[in-house]
Structure 1
Amino acid sequence: MVRRQSTLAIALVVVALTTLLLQLVVLPLVLLPRDTRWAWLLAPIAVTTVPLWSLIHEGIHGILLRDRAWNDRLGRVLAVGYGGPFTLLKAGHLLHHRYSRTRRERTEVYDPARSTWLAAARGYYPRLLGGLYFLELLSVLLALLPRRGWAALVRRTDSLDSVTGLLFERVARRDNLRRFRVEAIAIVVTYTGSSIAYGGHAWMLWSAVGARALIVSLADNAYHYGTRLERPLDAMNLALPRALELFVLAFNLHNVHHRHPGLRWHELRAAYVADRDRTHLGWFTAVARQLRGPVPLSAEAIRADTVPGWTAQTSGAPSTSP
């Protein structure tokens, strides 16, 4: 069974790396010189961002492969192709598990006593419509900072209202900072080299990167938008046809993942059944409703059990009714 799981993981990594190689190398150097219509391949490639992130996510939790060293190596290689340093992505995601829906991480929530909807929206919508991914990509510039610069960055961003200071503090640790710099250099080399290979068609590559940014940023908080605060273990399971659930590697079963972060993607459906868990919204509905914008701290939905499918259980668990 263990060998079969490792074989499956390696096969998926090979498919992901082949797709990235097609986008970054084969298209510009082999296919586009023959016929520019090959550029249409970039559209379906952009959609593979979702399973690509799911594989990186498995690596972040150390469950892509049982061998931790190879787990991290493959996670780093995939993250370079994705365009974000693995060290930063890992630190950020693990902080998300710890602080989700707390004061430090409640993306869409603003306090009317301290801000207005319009002021909150100025930061919210750019982040939602691609900004989150581009911040991950642009983080490679931080590799230029000396260690003292990182210490100053941690001090300036430390706040009880954000995980940013904690994120920078984790990345700035000696071994992590060394790895972050290597990953950042690899990303710069990869995407600079690919842009040169595309030549006059480089806009095609960066249009595909823009599509990736939109997909990643829209999907990131869809599992938590408008849900109750102070419930780090809570998330929403979002409905997808079973074929699409397999395509996204069961990332839509997000409540199951938050409650069982050590389970591999192909184990989540069984846990969903065993826990008598339920689906809370459709995936596309959950993504679209974020366009409503920032939610005031006083809103009933984030303080009471008004999210579809949730009941007032003291444990914060989702309803088990059919």
Structure 2
Amino acid sequence: MEYRIPTLANAAVATILLGLNALMFVIVPLVLVPSSAWWLLVLLPCALATNSMWFLAHEAFHANLMPGKRLNEVLGRALCVCLFVPFVVVRFGHLQHHRFNGALVDRPDLYDANRTWPPLAWIGYYFQLIGGFYLQEALSFFVFLLPRRLIPKAVRAGLSAYDEGSARIRDLAATTFAKPEIVRAARVDLVLALALHGLALWLYGPWWWAFALAVALRAFMVSFANNLPHYGTGTADVKYALNLRLPRAVNFLLLNFYCHRVHHHDPRIPWTRLPRVMREQGMEFDVGYMQAARAQFKGPIALNALNGR
């Protein structure tokens, strides 16, 4: 089935979110803070909008953001520059997530106790959960500063082939990230991201720490949301994910992202249609959002324990 991209709705949401970034990066330090330091509190709602921004970029990953490949990518890249993550990397990672959902490199909640020392798995898991996932995505920008011929080696060194799916993701990443157009796009976006964040730090002056805290909150929110609809689920069905129950207004503000199983069944469905398609297909919510969020703190799960459930 073909779905119409909700161009006006996406343009409106993008305008609001990019406006919040203009507020966070420029208007607060340049216009508001000089009159009163209390204006720094505006950074909190700006940072709390992070996941809506991430989920709108996610629409661009699936070419659901804007009609036309060029416009879709430009807007997706703009959102990612504001988040200080490389669009080419996060798009690749998410599309491989759909192909290889269950591969260990894609599932921080799972580990093979025969290959990974459990305490190390727990440390790595909580690092990922509280900000490490975002940090890894942000740092991947700097791989593209290497000579292009060295990028595949760096990618292979950075990604482990825990299982067949992980090995395939690593091989695809090594090939994809060395393509000239990918390297060029990542380098341009890195320059823009560094300029934007560097400008903000300079404008905040003695209040730089407030901006840094807002970015740290962004890192936590993105990392905490990354694996939430997949925590504790199996590895056999690549289309499986949890549908998480939220108040309708909150679900809307998060672009219905947590109607997640229906999204995995058909990534072409725009965010505006997900609840309706979910009802039409007879799907229900599996668990409440807060219950799923608390469950993540139970820690990583050994594969043999998961398979024994």
How high is the TM-score relative to the length of structure 1? 0.89
1:174 equivalent among 170, 177, 180: 180
Any unmatched runs of 5+ in structure 2? none
Contact 1:158–1:166 under 8 Å retained in 2: no
Equivalence for 2:269: 263
Matched, 1:239 2:245: yes
What residue identity is the alignment partner of 1:303? N
3-state secondary structure, aligned to 2:204:
helix
Deviation at 1:25, TM superposition (A): 0.5
In 2, Cα distance between the equivalents of 1:203 and 1:44?
A: 17
Deviation at 1:3, TM superposition (A): 9.1
Equivalence for 1:62: 63
Matched, 1:91 2:92: yes
Structure 1 140/115 Cα, relative in aligned 2: closer, same or farther at 3 Å?
closer
Residues 168-317 of structure 1 aligned to structure 2 (within 5 Å): 168-299=174-305, 302-303=306-307
Deviation at 1:33, TM superposition (A): 0.8
What residue identity is the alignment partner of 2:307? R
In 2, Cα distance between the equivalents of 1:214 and 1:81?
A: 16
Bigger fraction of residues in helix: 2
Structure 1 103/133 Cα, relative in aligned 2: closer, same or farther at 3 Å?
closer
Contact 2:26–2:203 under 8 Å retained in 1: yes
Structure 1 31/127 Cα, relative in aligned 2: closer, same or farther at 3 Å?
same
In 1, Cα distance between the equivalents of 2:290 and 2:120?
A: 27
3-state secondary structure, aligned to 1:96:
helix
Structure 1 16/192 Cα, relative in aligned 2: closer, same or farther at 3 Å?
same
Contact 2:229–2:243 under 8 Å retained in 1: yes
Residues 44-55 of structure 1 aligned to structure 2 (within 5 Å): 44-55=45-56
Measured against aligned partners, the alpha-carbon deviations of 1:105-140 in whole angstroms (never above 9, x if no partner) come to: 322111222233212112111111101111122222
How high is the TM-score relative to the length of structure 2? 0.93
Deviation at 1:164, TM superposition (A): 4.7
Contact 1:91–1:171 under 8 Å retained in 2: no
In 2, Cα distance between the equivalents of 1:96 and 1:112?
A: 22
Equivalence for 2:128: 127
Cα RMSD over matched residues? 1.7
3-state secondary structure, aligned to 2:229:
coil
Q: Which segment is superposed worse, 24-33 or 111-120?
A: 111-120
What residue identity is the alignment partner of 2:231? Y
The alignment-based identity, stated in percent, is 34
Deviation at 1:165, TM superposition (A): 5.1
Contact 1:102–1:230 under 8 Å retained in 2: no
Deviation at 1:167, TM superposition (A): 2.9
What residue identity is the alignment partner of 1:113? N
Matched, 1:118 2:87: no
